[in-house]
Structure 1
Amino acid sequence: MDDSQVDQILRNPKFKEMVRRKSILSWTLTGIMLFIYVGFMLLVGYNKEFLGSSFSGGVTTVGIPLGLSIIVLSFLLCGVYSYIANNKLDQLNEEALKEVEAITHEKGMH
């Protein structure tokens, strides 16, 4: 693939749309995870009493399920990303690839 083909791919509107959507999705999910994780760390730093308190006088403190939920949330966000990437962004990727193949075949014929 030569430089002109690469330029055509990079200027392709479907390719640009795919990159834009993927970027928005990635940064949104990263922001959500960062907000929750930093919030948890701030809670650990500034309100240990709350995290150390028990639900009903038992052994399990509030911090245990909260910490576990953060871990579970990270897996869920990975699943959300995979689902959206596979079902929405792959369609744009396929359309862009078809146009790239058409560009490559055009260039090969000339």
Structure 2
Amino acid sequence: MDEVQVERILQNPKFKEMVRRKSNLSWTLTAIMLFVYVGFMLLVGYNKEFLLSSISGGVTTWGIPLGLSIIVLSFILCAVYSSIANGKLDQLNEEAMREVEAITHEKGTH
């Protein structure tokens, strides 16, 4: 593949759309995870009493389910990313790849 083909691929509207959507999705999910994690760390640093308090008068404190929920949230966000990437973004990727193949075959026929 020569530089002209690469440039045509990079300028392809479907390729640009796929890159934009994938970037927006990954940055959004990253921001959500970062917000939750930093919030938890701030809670640990500034309100330990809340985390050490019992949920219902037993031995389980609020820190345990909150910490576990952060771990669960990371799996949920991975599933959301995979679902969207495998659904909508794969369609754009396939369309872009068809156009790339057409560009490559077009170059081969000239």
Is residue 2:6 matched to residue 1:19?
no
CA deviation map 1:64-101 (0-9, x unaligned): 00000000000000000000000000000000000000
Distance in 2 between residues matched to 1:9 and 1:61, nearest whole Å:
55
CA shift, 1:14, in A, is 0.1
The aligned counterpart of 1:3 is: 3
TM-score (norm 1): 0.99
5+ long unaligned stretches in structure 1: none
CA deviation map 1:20-39 (0-9, x unaligned): 00000000000000000000
The aligned counterpart of 1:65 is: 65
Q: Following TM superposition, where does structure 1 have runs of at least 4 consecutive aligned residues deviating by more than 2 angstroms?
A: none
The aligned counterpart of 1:99 is: 99
Indicate the RMSD between aligned Cα atoms, in angstroms. Answer: 0.3
CA deviation map 1:25-71 (0-9, x unaligned): 00000000000000000000000000000011111000000000000
5+ long unaligned stretches in structure 2: none
How many corresponding residue pairs? 110
- Percent identity, please: 84
